């Protein structure tokens, strides 16, 4: 049995703002464009640690996202989001939602909003 529910863009659009939405990409990609309301929790930092699953869970907890909380996880293509969900499930997270299409799918519809971080906007001006 899968430890997470796979969701699509319609689900993300419906639920964003009512449950945490976590982008696990590096800050450079997050800053360049992310789904509005998304938090940036870096999978690369967790993966470089001795205990990636526990480190990722600690990062999630530091953002106020606990094992019993429903949360949507995404990345660029879905691969790293799946890894993040696997790590989190292994340490007791039970309400995970994997946005399998992730940013590649999200930006496929120009009507969907994308937020650019202030730092990127400041550099562009």
CATH number at residue 58: 3.40.250.10
pLDDT of 125 > 90? The answer is no
Residues of the domain holding 80: 4-120
pLDDT of residue 41: 98
d(CA 53, CA 55): 5
**Total number of domains constituting the chain:** 1
Contacts with 75 (C-beta within 8 Å, 6 or more apart), sequence order: 23, 24, 25, 43, 81, 84, 102, 103
Q: Tell me: the pLDDT tens digits for 33-57? A: 999 999 999 999 999 999 999 999 9
pLDDT of residue 64: 98
DSSP for 26-49 reads -HHHHHH-B-TT-EE--HHHHHTS
Asked whether residue 53 is assigned to any structural domain, the reply reads yes
Q: Tell me: the pLDDT tens digits for 11-25? A: 999 999 999 999 999
* pLDDT band, very low/low/confident/very high, at 124 (cuts 50, 70, 90): low
Asked whether residue 56 is assigned to any structural domain, the reply reads yes
* pLDDT band, very low/low/confident/very high, at 118 (cuts 50, 70, 90): confident
Asked whether residue 125 is assigned to any structural domain, the reply reads no
Q: Tell me: the pLDDT tens digits for 56-112? A: 999 999 999 999 999 999 999 999 999 999 999 999 999 999 999 999 999 999 999
């Amino acid at each position: 049995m899968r430890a997470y529910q796979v969701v699509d863009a319609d689900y993300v659009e419906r639920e964003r703002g009512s449950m945490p939405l976590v982008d696990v990409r590096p800050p450079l990609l997050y800053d360049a464009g992310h789904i509005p309301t998304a938090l940036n929790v870096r999978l690369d930092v967790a993966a470089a640690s001795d205990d990636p699953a526990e480190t990722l869970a600690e990062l999630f907890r530091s953002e106020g996202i606990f094992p019993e909380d429903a949360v949507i996880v995404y990345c660029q293509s879905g691969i790293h989001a799946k890894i993040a969900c696997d790590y989190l499930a292994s340490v007791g997270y039970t309400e995970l939602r994997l946005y399998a299409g992730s940013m590649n799918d999200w930006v496929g519809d120009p009507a969907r909003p994308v937020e650019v971080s202030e730092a990127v906007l400041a550099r562009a001006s």
